[in-house]
């Protein structure tokens, strides 16, 4: 047994024990937070003896205390570590501590309270996502363990951020894998249909309950700013535009014309409201990204700068081949619309797509159309989505800016 103080030992003993197989503690000791089902000593601690969301004290095969975790015996990731201090067990106090640390980082990085306040494992809050829109919070509980702590999460959010309203946007497909229902409901106060997010000189209208995911893609903030630096005097095409994040900022930055393409009428209505409120004129086209690019090619439309920000084409490892083909195709379609000396920003939010594969997709597209592509900038997720160095899955967003010549 590891030597713990009497109070620490007492705290840890109040929880059922999850025992790991010999030498399976090495990843946790290196900083990782996940425990896979094949790493658990089911003879010493049968997974079938736990209910989804149960809290446990994790111990090595030799009895050493490794931390507190929550369990879901029905999933491949059977447990996620929530703390390593034996005297700080799971509960509201721990959540308040984590959220205060997360808030302190955002307040150092952002001049106004519009950001992702909590980013799961990146903030040592596995399963919890919280976006902040001023005094309104939109939160997701994506695991059974975090969902079981819903009341404590809400109380901790109120104590740390003092919101006037909280929306549970618990409609992520991940919840189905965790055995949880998908639903959207109000936790506190009244939720406005739209929030306003100031970014890049534009006041964006963002749908909350009716929007995608948690409303706004804060993760692309730095990439939108990067793209906007290269569009002065340009004809810009924003494909998979959602609410016009790239396109409207490009127009504000001096683009002569902007076209936004998205399949969601709700998203384009938000883009239209943002454009009107900011005095910007843009073209909005509702349609499939692939089909619209093919139509533009047939009509010989040309652009000076194009951004591709598609949904994840590779959601699971087994989808890799099909998804990679989709990334190659969309970049080929965009390449033929670029004028002689233009810019292409190609993005991917598919963790299972390696960065080099997206660069290769653009290079293949360039060679197919007898063009020369120069990689001039590399982007990733914004700083309010901090990467956990031991968990590569927390680094998912890729953005590459190319200059493309004839």
Q: With b meaning 16 or more CB within 10 Å and e meaning fewer, what string describes 351-382?
A: bbbeeebbbebbbebbeeeebebeeebebbbb
Decide if 349 is catalytic.
yes
- Between strands 283-286 and 194-199, the pairing is unpaired
Q: Which two tokens stand for residue 112?
A: 């106004």
Contact between 120 and 142 (Cβ < 8 Å)? yes
CA distance 177 to 174: 5
Q: Which two tokens stand for residue 189?
A: 């106060």
CB count within 10 Å of CB 89 equals: 18
Q: Which two tokens stand for residue 157?
A: 């959010």
Catalytic residue among 33, 138, 349, 358: 349
Which positions ≥6 away from 398 have C-beta within 8 Å?
347, 348, 349, 353, 355, 358, 379, 380
The residues annotated as belonging to the active site are 349
């Amino acid at each position: 047994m590891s030597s713990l103080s009497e109070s620490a030992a007492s705290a840890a003993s109040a929880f059922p024990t999850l025992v790991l197989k010999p030498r399976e503690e090495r990843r946790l000791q290196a900083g990782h937070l996940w425990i896979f089902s094949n790493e658990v000593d089911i003879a010493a601690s049968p997974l079938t003896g736990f209910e989804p969301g149960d809290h446990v004290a994790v111990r090595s095969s030799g009895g050493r205390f490794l931390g507190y975790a929550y369990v879901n015996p029905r999933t491949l990731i059977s447990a996620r570590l929530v703390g390593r201090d034996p005297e700080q067990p799971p509960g509201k106090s721990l959540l308040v501590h984590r959220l205060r640390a997360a808030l302190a980082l955002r307040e150092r990085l952002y001049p106004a309270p519009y950001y992702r306040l909590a980013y799961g494992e990146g903030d040592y809050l596995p399963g919890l996502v919280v976006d902040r829109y001023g005094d309104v919070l939109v939160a997701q509980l994506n695991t059974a363990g975090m969902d079981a702590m819903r009341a404590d999460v809400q109380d901790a959010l109120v104590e740390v951020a003092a919101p006037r309203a909280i929306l549970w946007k618990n409609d992520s497909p991940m919840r189905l894998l965790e055995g949880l229902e998908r639903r959207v409901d109000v936790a506190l106060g009244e939720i406005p249909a739209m929030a306003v997010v100031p970014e890049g000189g534009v006041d964006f209208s963002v749908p909350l309950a009716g929007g995608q995911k948690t409303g706004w893609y804060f993760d692309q903030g730095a990439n939108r700013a990067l793209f906007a630096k290269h569009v002065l005097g340009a004809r810009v095409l924003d494909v998979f535009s959602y609410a016009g994040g790239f396109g409207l900022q490009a127009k504000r930055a001096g683009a002569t014309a902007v076209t936004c393409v998205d399949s969601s009428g709700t998203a384009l209505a938000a883009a239209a409201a943002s454009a009107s409120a900011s005095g910007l004129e843009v073209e909005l086209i509702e349609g499939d990204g692939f089909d619209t690019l093919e139509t533009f090619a047939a009509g010989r439309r040309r652009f000076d700068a194009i951004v591709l920000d598609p949904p994840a084409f590779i959601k699971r490892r087994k989808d890799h081949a099909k998804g990679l083909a989709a990334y190659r195709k969309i970049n080929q379609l965009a390449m033929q619309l670029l004028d002689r000396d233009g810019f292409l920003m190609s993005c991917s939010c598919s963790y299972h797509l390696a960065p080099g594969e997206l660069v290769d997709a653009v290079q293949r597209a360039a060679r197919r159309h007898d063009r020369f592509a120069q990689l001039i900038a590399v982007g990733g997720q914004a700083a309010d989505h901090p990467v956990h160095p031991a968990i590569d899955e927390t680094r998912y967003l890729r953005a590459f800016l190319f200059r493309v010549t004839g």
